[in-house]
Structures are given as structure tokens and as C-alpha cells.
Amino acid sequence: MSEPVRRIKAPVRFEYTVQAGKTLSRFLAGLVEGRILGRRCPSCHKVYVPPRGACPTCALPPGDEVEVKDTGTVTTFCVVNVPFEGQTMKLPYVYAAVLLDGADIPMLHLVNAPADEARMGMRVRAEWAAPGQRKPTLESIQWFSPTGEPDAPFESYQEHL
């Protein structure tokens, strides 16, 4: 009798070619130009950044394109203490929901601030990759950095959490 098999390795790997779709493609192309493009719902008038294929409340296709500012307010955040593959930031770091000025829904991104200084209401600005380095990916914004402005009052973003 040979040794019984106690363990096998069965690696699985699938390759995908994913299309971003018409709506998100406009947003990603805008990032290459250093612009942040959202879309306004024709019914509830909320500006979604990144834009979505349909307004999740109204189930309608997005309406007008709206360029929003690259400054915003941290509405909520977490401090990442767990290492995982592909991480680019040194632990601990801040991952936050940033409500861009002109948008109604926060987007998620890194915040380049000491973990113990992160807070709701903190004002931040996008730190863009150099123009030649930008690609159609959110990594064209390296992270958001504190602007040093006074914190935004809670009432200014309480409807956007």
C-alpha cells in the first residue's frame, strides 16, 4: 500500500474581461482628465458619484451629467488595522466615505491622515496622480488629504449619510 492521500491542491483561476458599462465609463474617462463626473436622477434630482446605471430609489436611468468638485467632507470612516493582499497604505490607515461638494451620495476612498485624527465632518481634497499617470481607474486619485479648513457642521451632511 502506498501512502494514503491526505491533501490535494486544486488551484482555480478564471480570467474575465469586464466592461464598465456606458454610465461608469464616462466617470472613469473623466478621471483621466482630472474631472469627477456624476449623474443627476431625473426624478429625485440626487447627484450620484460615481454614477450608477439606475437611481436605486427611483429605478430610472440617470439624467444630466454633473461635474462635482474634488473637495468634500468625511461623513463616516473606518480605521483599517488588518493586513491583506494588495494593500498600498501602511497600517493603520483611514478609509472613508467622502461627500464631494455638489454630490448627494458619498464615495469611498483613502484618507491620508493619521488614524487618530480622522473624524466625521473633516474637510478633504483629492490628491490627483500626475496628469500623465492618470488612468481610467479610481487610483487616478491617490487619496484625499485634509484641507485644514474648519470641520463641516453635522447638519450640512446629515441627510447624506
Partner 1 sequence: MPRDVAIASFASLVEPRFDGDEVEVLAPVIGEALRAARLERRDVGFTVSGSCDYLGGRPFSFVMALDAVGAWPPIRESHVEMDGAWALYEAWVALQHGDIDVALVYAFGRSTQGNLYEVLSAQLDPYTVAPLGIDARSMAALQARAMLDAKRCTERDMAAVAARSRGGDVEALLAAPYVASPLRAHDCGPAYDAVAAVVLVAGDRAKQCCDRPAWIRGIDHRIEPHALGTRDLARSPSVELAGERAGVRKAPVDVAEIDAPFSHQEILVRSALGLGPTTRVNPSGGSLAAWPYIVSGLLRLGEAARAIHTGKARRAVAHATSGPCLQQNLVCVMEASDG
> Is 17 an interacting residue with respect to partner 1 (CB under 8 A)?
yes
> Is 131 an interacting residue with respect to partner 1 (CB under 8 A)?
no
> Is 14 an interacting residue with respect to partner 1 (CB under 8 A)?
yes
Closest distance to partner 1 from the beta carbon of 10 (Å): 5
> Is 23 an interacting residue with respect to partner 1 (CB under 8 A)?
yes
Member of 29, 33, 35, 53 binding partner 1 (CB under 8 A): 53
Member of 52, 74, 94, 107 binding partner 1 (CB under 8 A): 52
Inter-CA distances, 31 with 26, 53, 62, 129, Å: 9, 18, 19, 10
> Is 161 an interacting residue with respect to partner 1 (CB under 8 A)?
no
- End-to-end alpha-carbon separation of the chain, Å? 65
Closest distance to partner 1 from the beta carbon of 25 (Å): 9
Closest distance to partner 1 from the beta carbon of 41 (Å): 11
Site size toward partner 1, by CB under 8 A: 24
Query: How far is the C-alpha of 40 from the C-alpha of 137, rounded, in Å?
Result: 21
Member of 2, 16, 85, 159 binding partner 1 (CB under 8 A): 16
* Footprint on residues 56-115 left by partner 1 (CB under 8 A): 56-61
Query: Which residue lies nearer to partner 1 by CB, 63 or 121?
Result: 63
Inter-CA distances, 69 with 83, 95, 153, Å: 32, 20, 19
Edge-first strand order for the sheet with 47-48 is: 47-48, 36-40, 65-68
- Exposed/middle/buried for residue 126 (C-beta within 10 Å: 0-12, 13-18, 19+): buried
Residue 32's closest CA among 123, 138, 107, 121?
A: 138
Residues lying near partner 1 in the complex (CB under 8 A): 8, 10, 12, 14-24, 52-61
